[in-house]
């Protein structure tokens, strides 16, 4: 095979790679991913690699070349609040634009949506979820809870078996993404080799740094038309450092919760101590005192 410029040349058939790439419009999705998510460079690079492989596979099929039938089922591992659901939505969009799924929707579920509480309850629950997910992507959050090795009467194994059958027999009509903490997901895959063999794309989501979390916080505030006063930036950074050391830290999710509490304190401050006439600046500004009331500073 001879390649030159942006063209592929196979048996005197030219394929304009750039034209085919632009036709899919997946660059729009990758640009949205860069714009909406701070950091996560390894994740973004991995998604781009997967998209590139799928595009080349599509071009090979169009030229009647042997295709490796790339596996589409995925595993997203990492702490809560690291953007796994957001990236899954973008991945569903990419798969749809490349023609690998019919609809491009994302259905997010947990164990409770799939596993029943008594004999004969799990199969219809799982099949109903799969029915709604067909043509798109099924995102199973905290997937390791599907399998409880210490409970012989648990029905999660039944849900897994149904999932395995569909992942193998209907792989052209459904993509499954399993998500959760990395260590727990590793044990989950080790418990079921059949499941592990069907998941070919593993993407690990790193925790955010304090600097990245401050940027994320400012983006969240801007989306809600709020801002931090200049002296509040350092206070919130110190808050992040302290919060990262606390139990149940959830990265961007914890920042969103912190913003909600800060807005509540700001509103209470304005209502209790504010002047009769308010400016736009009064209503949009989160002050250092609104943050210092957090239990982490008391």
Q: Which of 192, 122, 196 is nearest to 162 (CA)?
A: 122
pLDDT of residue 43: 97
pLDDT of residue 151: 65
Query: Quick one: which H or E segment has residue 199?
Result: none
- pLDDT per residue as tens digits for the range 120-139: 899 999 999 999 999 999 99
Q: Is residue 298 part of a domain?
A: no
Q: Of 197, 200, 90, whose CA–CA distance to 139 is shortest?
A: 90
Residue 269: exposure state from Cβ atoms within 10 A (0-12, 13-18, ≥19): middle
Q: Is the model more confident about 152 or about 39?
A: 39
pLDDT tops 60 at residue 98: yes
Residues 6+ apart with CB under 8 A from 195: 160, 163, 164, 188, 189
- The answer, yes or no, to whether residue 82 has pLDDT greater than 60, is yes
| Confidence check: pLDDT of 3 > 90 | no
Helix (H, G, I), strand (E, B), or coil: what is residue 255? helix
Tell me what percent of the residues of the chain surpass a pLDDT of 90.
74
What's the full length of the chain, in residues? 298
Residues 147 and 169 in one domain: yes
Based on the fold, state whether residues 195 and 244 are members of the same structural domain.
no
Question: Can you give the CATH number for the domain in which 239 is found?
Answer: 1.10.8.60
Mark whether 96 and 186 lie in a shared domain: yes
The residue-averaged pLDDT of 47-60 equals 92
Q: Which two tokens stand for residue 42?
A: 């390894």
The least confident of 38-42, 66-70, 222-226 is: 66-70
pLDDT value, residue 2: 41
Same domain, 122 and 248: no
Mean pLDDT, residues 1-27 taken together: 69
Specify if 297 maps to a domain: no
Q: What pLDDT is stored for residue 165 in this prediction?
A: 94
In this prediction, residue 21 has a pLDDT band, given cuts at 50, 70 and 90, of confident
Question: How high is the pLDDT of residue 120?
Answer: 85
pLDDT digits over 248-274, tens only?
999 999 999 999 999 999 999 999 886
Residue 247 reports pLDDT greater than 60: yes
Q: Kind of pairing, strands 227-228 and 285-286?
A: parallel
Average confidence score pLDDT of the chain: 91
- Tell me, yes or no, whether 58 and 181 share the same domain: yes
Under 8 Å CB-to-CB from 189, ≥6 apart: which residues?
A: 75, 195, 196, 199
Q: d(Cα 195, Cα 140) in Å, to the nearest integer?
A: 13
Please report the pLDDT score of residue 79 as a whole number. 96
| Interhelix angle 26-36/84-97, nearest 10 degrees | 170
Query: 246 or 67, which is more confident?
Result: 246
How many structural domains does the chain have? 2
Residue 253 sits in which domain range? 210-292
| DSSP result, 5-39 | TTEEEETTEEEEHHHHHHHHTHHHHHHHHHHHS-S
Which pair of structure tokens corresponds to residue 169? Answer: 């027999």
Asked if pLDDT for residue 237 goes beyond 60, the answer is yes
126 lies in the same domain as 191: yes
200 and 265 housed in the same domain = no
117 and 170 co-located in one domain: yes
Residues 19 and 32 in one domain: yes
pLDDT in tens, 136-179: 999 999 999 998 766 667 788 899 999 999 999 998 899 999 99
Segments in 138-229 forming alpha helices (H):
156-169, 182-190, 193-198, 210-223
Report how far apart, in Å, the C-alpha atoms of 106 and of each of 29, 80, 87, 127, 163 are: 15, 18, 11, 16, 16
Tokens found for residue 186: 């590793």
Point out which residues pair with 15 in neighbouring strands: 8
């Amino acid at each position: 095979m001879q390649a030159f410029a942006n063209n592929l040349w196979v048996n005197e058939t030219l394929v304009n790679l750039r034209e085919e790439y632009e036709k899919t419009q997946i660059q729009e999705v990758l640009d949205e991913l860069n714009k909406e998510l701070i950091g996560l460079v390894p994740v973004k690079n991995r998604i781009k690699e997967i998209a590139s492989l799928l595009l080349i596979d599509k071009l090979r099929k169009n030229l009647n070349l042997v295709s490796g039938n790339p596996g589409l089922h995925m595993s997203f591992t990492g702490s809560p609040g690291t953007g796994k659901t957001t990236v899954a939505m973008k991945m569903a969009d990419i798969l749809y634009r490349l023609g690998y799924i019919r609809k491009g929707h994302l259905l997010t579920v947990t164990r409770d949506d799939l596993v029943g509480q008594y004999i004969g309850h799990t199969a219809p629950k799982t099949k109903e979820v799969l029915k709604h997910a067909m043509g798109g992507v099924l995102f199973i959050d905290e997937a390791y809870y599907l399998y409880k090795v210490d409970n012989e009467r648990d029905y999660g194994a039944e849900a897994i078996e149904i999932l395995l059958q569909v992942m193998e027999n209907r792989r052209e009509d459904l993509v499954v993404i399993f998500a959760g903490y990395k260590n727990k997901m590793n044990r989950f895959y080790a418990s079921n080799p059949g499941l592990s063999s069907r998941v070919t794309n593993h993407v690990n989501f790193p925790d955010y740094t304090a600097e990245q979390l401050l940027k994320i916080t400012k983006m969240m505030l801007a989306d809600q038309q709020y801002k931090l006063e200049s002296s509040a930036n350092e206070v919130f950074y110190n808050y992040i450092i302290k919060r990262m050391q606390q139990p149940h830290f959830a990265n961007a999710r914890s920042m969103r919760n912190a913003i909600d509490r800060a807005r509540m304190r700001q509103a209470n401050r304005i209502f209790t101590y504010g002047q009769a006439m308010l400016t736009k600046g009064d209503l949009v500004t989160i002050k250092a005192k609104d943050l210092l009331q957090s239990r982490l500073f008391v």
